Amino acid sequence: MNSFNINRFGRTLYWVLSVNFRTLLLWTIGSALAVFVGEMFFMHFMSTTATPYVMIRESSAICTILFTIASLVLISSIVTSVNNKRKREAFLMLPSSNLEKFLSLVAYTTVISIACIFLAIVMGDSLRMLWLWASGYSNEMMGTTIPTAHNGETYYWYSSAVPSVVNNLTPHILPNGYIYTSGDGKMKIVYTCGNGYLIAKYVLTVAFVVWLHSLFTLGGTLLRKYAFVVSGIVFFFILWLYAWAEHHGFNIYDRQYYQEFGREGFDQFETVVLMVNTSVASVVLLLSTAFSIFNYWASFHIFKGFQLITNKWTNYDILKR
């Protein structure tokens, strides 16, 4: 059975979900309670020195970090749900192809499980909002107006942190014409960029996320233990190599500065033009795409060779192949 059938894939995914539903439900509820307790503790810890806006901003930053780490842990645990002999035997005997089984595990860990983690953040944050609103929690900093680039927005202790989490998880592509003005009104900086810069940043961001997913998928498929740790070490090593290459002139992005003094009433007026080094960006895109394809291919190749009893540390016995 080598072909792919969407109905068989759906039934296989349903089997994976039903087998792990209880565990997934308990982890979601536990994570929601942890978010609620963590936000309450964090709020009371800093409520005497910070405004509601700062509390929400910092809470959302912590939730974003935890969400990212939890997502990578889940991606690297792609075969954890079928790692014991009984579950693996039942899974391998399902009437579906290897590709359908592999994609069902990917969908479960990457889509369903990560969605439950985000749902836990929403539930925990909603509990905090409901508790503060119902209890009438207030002090001298009950609300404050935080001016933004376009208008003012009022934040309260019971305001939601979820929009900030979503904003943190969304790639920030600097819009053309972004303006920064110093607090003392003496300096103004105008950032400008072309469509090529915006397109390149979008494409490279997507390529980076796909490569990161493929790396942790490969680590989770190959290793039976410490998949997240080993994949994380490889990831940080590659980041170090990239930082080293960038330090030696291998830069994807570049800037040109044009400074003027006394323009529009500012002591210093600066225009920053953002540009892309096309040759370097092309090399990075090709490498990331090639490594992503290899990682997915290797993950599926390892998965096709799954046995009921495997090595203590890995799911792939190199000596027998």
Same domain, 151 and 126: yes
Report the DSSP pairing between strands 187-193 and 253-260: unpaired
Residue 84 tokens read as 């014991």
pTM for this structure? Answer: 0.84
- Count of domains for the chain: 2
- The domain of 281 spans 171-321
Same domain, 134 and 222: no
pLDDT score of 122: 95
In a domain, 292, yes or no: yes
pLDDT score of 48: 52
CA angle (25, 209, 293) in 5-degree steps: 105
Same domain, 88 and 205: no
In a domain, 17, yes or no: yes
pLDDT, one tens digit for every residue, the chain (321 residues): 567 889 999 999 999 999 889 999 999 999 999 999 988 887 777 655 567 777 888 888 889 999 999 999 999 999 887 777 787 788 888 888 889 999 999 999 999 999 999 999 999 999 988 888 777 665 544 445 454 434 466 777 778 889 889 888 887 665 555 666 665 666 677 777 777 788 888 889 899 999 999 999 999 998 888 899 999 999 999 999 988 988 887 888 877 777 766 566 666 677 777 778 888 888 889 999 999 999 999 999 988 877 766 666 777 665 555
User: Using a CB cutoff of 8 Å and minimum separation of 24, what contacts does 161-168 make?
Assistant: 161/39, 161/56, 161/59, 161/60, 161/63, 161/125, 162/60, 162/121, 162/122, 162/125, 164/56, 164/57, 164/59, 164/60, 164/61, 165/60, 165/63, 165/64, 165/67, 165/121, 167/60, 168/60, 168/61, 168/64
Same domain, 240 and 121: no
Residue 169 tokens read as 């998880």
Report the DSSP pairing between strands 187-193 and 268-276: parallel
In a domain, 135, yes or no: yes
Single out the residue in 134, 161, 188 at which a domain terminates.
161
In a domain, 166, yes or no: no
Same domain, 155 and 102: yes
Same domain, 177 and 142: no
Same domain, 144 and 270: no
Same domain, 5 and 23: yes
pLDDT score of 147: 42
Same domain, 203 and 111: no
Neighbouring CB atoms inside 10 A of 64's CB total 18
Contact 279, 194 (CB under 8 A): no
List, for residues 10-58, the tens digit of each pLDDT value: 999 999 999 889 999 999 999 999 999 988 887 777 655 567 777 888 8
50 phi, psi to nearest 5 deg: -135, 160
Single out the residue in 121, 140, 161 at which a domain terminates.
161
Q: What is the DSSP string of 215-272?
A: HHHHHHHHBSSSHHHHHHHHHHHHHHHHHHHHHTT--SEEEEEEEESSGGG-SEEEEE
**Who's near 141: CB < 8 A, 6+ residues apart?**
47, 50, 51, 52
Single out the residue in 132, 161, 190 at which a domain terminates.
161
pLDDT score of 236: 94
In a domain, 255, yes or no: yes
